[in-house]
């Protein structure tokens, strides 16, 4: 994987592909190459921590090709 490669968020791909956020998340949840960065542990008063997903262009193209058959 090229570190300088363009990466997408789930929201960006959802807008580009005109699909829902949850559909994109499901499509990529167990896909190799997706970067999932966990945030700091929850602070008092917050229920959960968040995970930021970054999907490399190469991975997005692979999934798109596989899904459009």
Cβ atoms of 60 and 34 within 8 Å: the answer is no
**pLDDT one-digit tens code per residue, 18-63:** 999 999 999 999 999 999 998 777 777 777 778 899 999 999 999 9
Q: At what angle do helices 57-67 and 21-28 cross, to 10 degrees?
A: 100
Containing structural domain, residue 42? 7-67
Whole-angstrom Cα distance, residue 41 to residue 56?
26
Kindly state whether residue 59 falls inside one of the protein's structural domains. Answer: yes
Cβ atoms of 10 and 25 within 8 Å: the answer is yes
**pLDDT one-digit tens code per residue, 4-22:** 789 999 999 999 999 999 9
Kindly state whether residue 1 falls inside one of the protein's structural domains. Answer: no
Count of structural domains, the chain: 1
């Amino acid at each position: 994987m090229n570190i300088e490669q363009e990466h997408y968020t789930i929201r960006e791909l959802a807008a580009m592909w005109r699909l829902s956020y949850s559909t994109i998340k499901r499509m990529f949840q167990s896909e190799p190459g997706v970067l999932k960065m966990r945030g700091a542990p929850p602070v008092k008063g917050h229920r959960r921590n968040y995970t930021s997903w970054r999907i490399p262009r190469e991975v997005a193209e692979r999934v798109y090709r596989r899904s459009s058959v």
